Chain A
Amino acid sequence: MAYNILVVDDSMSMRAIIKKVIGMSGFDVGEIAEAGNGLEALAKLEDFWADVVLTDIHMPEMDGIELLKKIKGDPLSAAIPVVMITTESRDEVVSGALAMGAAGYIKKPFRPEDIKALLVEILGGEDDAAGEDQSESDDGDF
């Protein structure tokens, strides 16, 4: 099964690097869509079925927490796992996001294997990813 992934970050550099890391992860990836903030992400989700959403928190227009609320508040999208990828690691903010239904949390700066491990946990495919681990000589090579 190929997984569709929506990457939400106001930094084009971060979107590019997250897409690259996902590509290296060994998952059967379908389409990877991008959005620059929460509002763009919601518009994208109207015609793009995402199996997982990876989102920053601090963004203009609509931040990642508000995006999480909107996704979880809509019966059509509530089942989509949402992962927060952010500099924010203060307990109050992280536990708040998890309580609102976030499927996981990755702190910036991250290593490629951090994203891979969380995708394995959420989407499965551990065997494929493990095989990829053994075949990659340099995980840190972006």
Chain B
Amino acid sequence: MLLEKISQNLTTVISEVLETMFFVFLEPRSGPLPLSEDFIGAQVVIKGSDFAYELKFLAQSRLLQQIAADFLGLDQETASLAQCQDVLKEIGNMVSGNLVNICDPEARLELGIPTVSGDHLTAASLDDCVEKFIYASDEGVLLVGINSSGTDGK
């Protein structure tokens, strides 16, 4: 099943993307989702012939401000919401793209364009997801949820 492949490879891909490109080291965590109300969200859809997976990315704003500031050479306080959202979309794009490369070498899947889902979100945004993952650093938390529709025949 594609969902299993995505789940199995997610942590490795997140580490590769965030460490190589953003110099951020996140550790996987278990337990309940955090109660924070300052998440910024983005999502990417991966489409197959008769199914689709939506990867939802929620990052605490202070984590994104730190990443955006480091990435763009800004002071943390001056990273705007638009810059934070753009960085989260690019994280989602790179993570999803690299997952597709691993899980679909035959290029049957179509990778969508990342979109922003808002700010001041809570972890409840992942309530409809069949899989949820928590990654944390001292700066904050990144949540990834996977929502599925249709039949994954793989």
Contact = CB atoms under 8 A, between A and B. Distances in A.
A109 B21 contact: yes
A79 interface: no
Interface string A3-43: 00000001111101100100000000000000000000000
B93 A11 contact: yes
Interface string B73-113: 10000000001001101100110111011001111000101
Contacts of A110: 20-21
Nearest to B87: A13
A140 B100 CA distance: 26
A11 B113 CA distance: 11
A10 B86 CA distance: 9
Nearest to A37: B113
A49 B81 CA distance: 34
Given A90-B101, A90-B104, A90-B105, A58 B93 contact: yes
Interface in B1-21: 16-17, 20-21
Interface of B is mostly: helix
A50 B3 CA distance: 43
**Range of interface residues on B (Cβ < 8 Å):** 20 to 34
Given A59-B113, A87-B101, A13 B72 contact: yes
B83 A13 contact: yes
B100 A90 contact: yes
A141 B130 CA distance: 38
A58 B113 contact: yes
B70 interface: yes
Contacts of B23: 140, 142
B94 A109 contact: yes
A59 B71 CA distance: 21
A92 B107 contact: yes
A55 to B, nearest CB: 14
Nearest to B70: A142
A54 B94 CA distance: 17
A14 B90 CA distance: 8
Interface of A: 10-14, 16-17, 20, 58-60, 86-93, 108-111, 140, 142
Top 9 nearest A-B pairs (CB, nearest first) are: A87-B97, A109-B21, A109-B20, A92-B107, A90-B107, A89-B101, A11-B90, A13-B86, A13-B87
10 contacts: A11-B89, A12-B83, A13-B71, A59-B113, A60-B113, A87-B96, A90-B106, A91-B105, A108-B93, A140-B23
